[in-house]
Amino acid sequence: MPKILIVDDEPHIRLLLEQTLEEFEDEGVDILIAENGEAGLELIKSEKPELVFLDVMMPKMNGFEVCDTVKNKLGMKDVHIIMLTAKGQEFDKEKGAEVGCDLYLTKPFDPDHIVEKASEVLGMEL
């Protein structure tokens, strides 16, 4: 069963993403939630989701550290990571590319764009 992981410390962003992606649940996709980077990393290691929506500024471990650990230290190249953050400076986007994120999107995000990207990654037509 395919899995999508949402890692964000803001409850309203988690809820918004969960609602945006709920159509995928109807298609048998598991939606997993983590409230900080450390919990997100543990879920990535144990659940091996196909897609991760990852915030940057979080307690315990920021999104750049999580992405770097997953992609470079653990070599989990098949986990598709989309950084979803308010940090939209060019410097931040470059740092995202350096740590191996697959796509860098800034908040506020377009829910249709989120569904489109998730569909592409999971190879599903909704």
| pTM score | 0.96
Q: Which fold has domain 3-122?
A: Rossmann fold (3.40.50)
- Tell me if residue 27 falls in helix, strand or coil: coil
Report which DSSP code applies to 61: S
Domain ranges of the chain: 3-122
pLDDT digits over 44-75, tens only? 999 999 999 999 999 999 999 999 999 999 99
Strand partners, 125: none
User: Which H or E run contains 11?
Assistant: helix 11-20
What per-residue confidence (pLDDT) applies to 125? 84
Question: Residue 126 pLDDT > 80, yes or no?
Answer: no
